[in-house]
C-alpha cells in the first residue's frame, strides 16, 4: 500500500510541475523551474533543441519560431547552431493557461468514453494547449519510468506516445490506459487548484 501512495504522490508532483511550467511560460520564465523530473524548455545545445520538431505544444511552437528565425536575411548564411546561440523566444504568444485547464478537466471523461488512442490523437492533432497536454502526458510517463513506454522509447527515439499506442498489444494498451487515466485525474485535480483558484 505504501508504494501505491508513493506512486500517486509522484504522479501528483509531476502534474503540478507541468502546470507550473505553463504558468511560468506565460510569464516568460519557463527556465526558472529547476526540477530534473521534466525536460528543460530551452536546452543549452542545439542538438537537443532540434528534437523539439518531434514534440507538441509549446516546444513545437518554439521550434517553429526558430525556423522563422533561420529564414531571416541576416541568418541565411549562418549555421543553425550559431543562430540558436543567439535565439531568444518572445513568450507573448504562449498563454496556454486559459484553455489548458478546461482541456485537462475534459481529458479523463474523454478517455473513458472515447478510448485512449482516439482521445490522445485528438489532443495531438489540435496542437497548442491540447498538444501541450499530450506532451505533458508523454513526459510524465517517461519521468515515472513507466516500463512498457520507456522500453519502447529506448528503441524508437524519434517516435512519440501515439506511435507507441498503435504499436502495442491489447493487454499493454489496457495497462497504459489505466496509467494515463490516473495521470489525467491528477492533472485535472491540479489544474482545478492551481489555475482556477489562483487566476
pLDDT in tens, 67-101: 888 888 888 888 888 888 877 766 666 667 778 88
Indicate whether 17 pLDDT > 70.
Answer: yes
Least confident of 13-17, 47-51, 92-96, 171-175: 92-96
Q: How many domains does the chain have?
A: 1
Q: What is the mean pLDDT of the chain?
A: 84
CA atoms within 13 A on the CB side of 191: 23
191: which DSSP letter?
Answer: H
Q: What percent of the chain has pLDDT over 90?
A: 46
The alpha-carbon radius of gyration of the chain (Å, integer) is 17
Phi, psi torsion values for 33, nearest 5 degrees = -85, 105
111 and 104 Cβ atoms separated by less than 8 Å: no
Question: What is the pTM (predicted TM-score) of this model?
Answer: 0.81
181 and 111 Cβ atoms separated by less than 8 Å: yes
CA dist., res. 175 & res. 184, Å (int): 14
N-term to C-term CA, the chain: 36
The pLDDT score that the predictor gives to residue 151 is 95
Q: Which domain holds residue 144?
A: 2-196
113 and 47 Cβ atoms separated by less than 8 Å: no
Indicate whether 197 pLDDT > 60.
Answer: no
Using pLDDT thresholds of 50, 70 and 90, give the confidence band for residue 42. Answer: low
CA dist., res. 148 & res. 164, Å (int): 9
List, for residues 148-163, the tens digit of each pLDDT value.
Answer: 999 999 999 888 999 9
Q: Which CATH number does the domain housing residue 38 bear?
A: 1.10.520.30
The pLDDT score that the predictor gives to residue 30 is 58
Amino acid at each position: 500500500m505504501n508504494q501505491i501512495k508513493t506512486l500517486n504522490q509522484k504522479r501528483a508532483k509531476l502534474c503540478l510541475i507541468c502546470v507550473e511550467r505553463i504558468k511560468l511560460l506565460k510569464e516568460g520564465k519557463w527556465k526558472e523551474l529547476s526540477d530534473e523530473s521534466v525536460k528543460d524548455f530551452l536546452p543549452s545545445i542545439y542538438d537537443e533543441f532540434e528534437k523539439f520538431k518531434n514534440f507538441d505544444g509549446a516546444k513545437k511552437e518554439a521550434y517553429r519560431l526558430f525556423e522563422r528565425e533561420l529564414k531571416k536575411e541576416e541568418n541565411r548564411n549562418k549555421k543553425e547552431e550559431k543562430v540558436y546561440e543567439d535565439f531568444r523566444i518572445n513568450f507573448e504568444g504562449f498563454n496556454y493557461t486559459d484553455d489548458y485547464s478546461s482541456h485537462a478537466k475534459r481529458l479523463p471523461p474523454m478517455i473513458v468514453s472515447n478510448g485512449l488512442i482516439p482521445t490522445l490523437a485528438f489532443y495531438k492533432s489540435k496542437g497548442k494547449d491540447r498538444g501541450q497536454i499530450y506532451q505533458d502526458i508523454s513526459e510524465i510517463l517517461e519521468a515515472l519510468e513507466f516500463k512498457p513506454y520507456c522500453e519502447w522509447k529506448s528503441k524508437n527515439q524519434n517516435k512519440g506516445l501515439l506511435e507507441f499506442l498503435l504499436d502495442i498489444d491489447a493487454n499493454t494498451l489496457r495497462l497504459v490506459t489505466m496509467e494515463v487515466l490516473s495521470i489525467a485525474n491528477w492533472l485535472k485535480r491540479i489544474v482545478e487548484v492551481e489555475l482556477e483558484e489562483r487566476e
